Structure 1
Amino acid sequence: MIDAALFSSALGALTPILFAALAGALCQRAGVFNISLEGTMLVGCFAAVAGSWHTGSAWAGVVAAMLAGTAYSLILAIGTVTFGGDPIVLGVAVNLLAVGLTSFLIRTVFGTRGTFSDPALAGLEPVDIPGLDRVPFLGDVLSGHTLLGYVSWLAVAGLAVLLYRHPWGLRLRGVGERPEAAASLGVSVGRYRYGVILAGGALCGLAGAQLALGNVTLFSENMTAGRGWIAVVAVLLGRALPVGVLAAAVLFGLAEAFGFRLQGIGLPQQATDAAPYVVTLLALFASSGRLRSRRLMRGSP
């Protein structure tokens, strides 16, 4: 049951979660708790399929997904930064709006309900890494993923360098930890928060493109199926650290892949589909227990 194919499937499953979780971590570092990842990713899914279908190019779909995710995240940016709204309330509203908006657009643009799939729809092709694909086990695990999958791994390293080795990242962390002090030094808190929310929208667009054109090649209503919420949990478990977020995303990717494997041996689909969410709950319980024990050790309530 545990073989190279399982780990390869896990890497494919973690890519949308990882992109969205990196978006959430970036926003968290700027002091914005972004729970609109689910809705923004869903908009990215639709835009990716629409762009690919109209142009015949999967990469045009990827660009469309990034642009749509960025534009859609303006709702959260304007509401929280310009008008000072509660990001939790706005995030829930953004998620609900995305479900209704994409359900309306699938009827308007594609003239169908539920699911849109077309043989002419161009998807993202897997990439075989020369040399690595001939290495036993390791080649089967690491080779044969979409280009966006490899980009997501590089994005972890890039974000870590940006946050901890670049002046922009240091100022961004200052905006999140001490916004008044950052503003007194001439740093525009609003501009930084706008920037990270929009960048997070682009990352969620990439997550949607991978899900709709890489993992499958179709659009289905509410096809994100809670992955954005899992990404929020990954941000919490990883403490908004790029490497921590990656570790949490790997955990959830393994849970999803293992669920598919259990489904293949005859377990009901409803039970196997619940595997990532069971792991999410267990991880949250473990995290809250760890935090509680640390507070007791420090003597705080």
Structure 2
Amino acid sequence: MISVDLFLSADIVAATVRSGIPLLLLGLGGLICHQAGVFNVALEGLLLIGCFAAVAGSALSGSAVVGVATAVAAGVGTAYLLAVGTVSRHGNPLILGTAINVIAAGLTTFALQAVFHVRGTYHRPDLARLPHWFAAAEHALPWIGPTLAALSPLGLLALLSVPATSAFLHRTVAGMRLRGIGIHAEAAQSLGVRPDRYRFAALLASGALGGLAGAELSLGSVALFTENMSAGRGWIIVLVLLLTGGRLRPMLGTLAVYAYAQSLGFRLQTIGLPMQFGDAAPYLATLAVIVVVGVRAGRRTGRAATT
């Protein structure tokens, strides 16, 4: 008999949080770009490069802090190249972003063999991973304990970044200018605002957040790097941002559904369901949410047209 705990339990909530933190960090970077009117499809590549750089920095230095710093530097460096190509040189953002994704997949695979002399997965028992300050709460507090124990410092940073990003976009002059550039760049420029500077900064911010997301994914719950371990998360966020119009709350809700479905898919495999179903569950759930959001947006547009 299937128990309710199979679908909703403290372990499921904790697993959802673990899965959702990298998505949240990467999503906030994509959101900032979207608000600035930048079509950043390189989120997948930024996440993957952050994953490898974090593991490489941690393995070579013995410090998870160095690993995180390396991931941020790699993410910002990659985003800088994208910003130069798209903002300074006015290149096609779709082509350049896709190129970065392809290069990131090939480069990390090559570097894995060149640096660590392995193929597929690099894992070392003594590899420094991110600390979990609230690990003692796992058995001390019911329900919330496992969730607190699942949070790394980057997890706390991600949760605090949500209200900070909202406040920046809606309560600061720089944030409102950035949103204005995304709405009508020419009008903002006529008021003395330089759109290129804000777009360049937005891409660099997405690179830093992509690096942090990669560090959380590779050094948070586990301490390893696997080829293509980003597993399409960046593409999911790009699609979510497009269909939610870059709005923070719908994006958060959709990413929460994805993370929950991913955790549930892993759990359902323990009762004998095929592994393929578990792997497909988050994508199917996200697709369902996107369809609902798209239908509602279409209805709102239809009502506005008739009034």
Q: For 1:262 and 1:158, how far apart are their aligned partners in 2?
A: 36
Q: Choose from 167, 180, 191 the match for 1:174.
A: 180
Q: Choose from 58, 69, 83 the match for 1:63.
A: 69
Equivalence for 2:3 = none
Q: For 2:192 and 2:295, how far apart are their aligned partners in 1?
A: 40
Pair 1:152-2:168 in alignment: no
Q: For 2:16 and 2:55, how far apart are their aligned partners in 1?
A: 23
Equivalence for 1:252 = 258
Q: For 2:189 and 2:242, how far apart are their aligned partners in 1?
A: 26
Deviation at 1:10, TM superposition (A): 0.1
Provide TM-score, normalisation by structure 2: 0.92
**Structure 1 residues 37-90: Cα deviation after superposition (integer angstroms, max 9, x where no partner):** 001100000000000001000111001000000001122211210121221222
80 and 124 in structure 1: CA distance in 2 versus 1, 3 angstrom threshold: same
Q: For 1:260 and 1:227, how far apart are their aligned partners in 2?
A: 17
Q: For 1:298 and 1:162, how far apart are their aligned partners in 2?
A: 30
Equivalence for 2:242 = 236
**DSSP-derived class of the 1:219 partner:** strand
Deviation at 1:283, TM superposition (A): 1.9
Counterpart residue identity of residue 67, structure 1: A
Equivalence for 1:111 = 117
**DSSP-derived class of the 1:180 partner:** helix
Pair 1:5-2:6 in alignment: no
**DSSP-derived class of the 2:220 partner:** helix
Provide TM-score, normalisation by structure 1: 0.94
Deviation at 1:238, TM superposition (A): 4.4
**DSSP-derived class of the 1:66 partner:** helix
Q: For 1:112 and 1:84, how far apart are their aligned partners in 2?
A: 39
Deviation at 1:131, TM superposition (A): 7.6
Equivalence for 1:89 = 95
Equivalence for 2:192 = 186
Equivalent pairs: percent with the same residue? Answer: 44
Q: CA RMSD in A?
A: 1.8
Pair 1:275-2:244 in alignment: no
Q: Choose from 193, 197, 207 the match for 1:201.
A: 207
Equivalence for 1:293 = 299
Equivalence for 1:22 = 28
Residue range with higher mean Cα deviation, 161-170 or 84-93: 84-93
**DSSP-derived class of the 1:222 partner:** coil
Q: Choose from 37, 45, 49 the match for 1:39.
A: 45
297 and 204 in structure 1: CA distance in 2 versus 1, 3 angstrom threshold: same
**Structure 1 residues 85-140: Cα deviation after superposition (integer angstroms, max 9, x where no partner):** 22122211111111011111111111111111112211112221888974422233
Deviation at 1:28, TM superposition (A): 0.4
Structure 2: gaps spanning 5 or more residues = 1-5
Q: For 1:135 and 1:121, how far apart are their aligned partners in 2?
A: 29
Q: For 1:105 and 1:9, how far apart are their aligned partners in 2?
A: 30
Q: For 2:131 and 2:137, how far apart are their aligned partners in 1?
A: 18
The list of structure 1 runs, each at least 4 consecutive aligned residues, that deviate by more than 6 angstroms after superposition, is 129-133
Q: Choose from 255, 269, 272 the match for 1:266.
A: 272
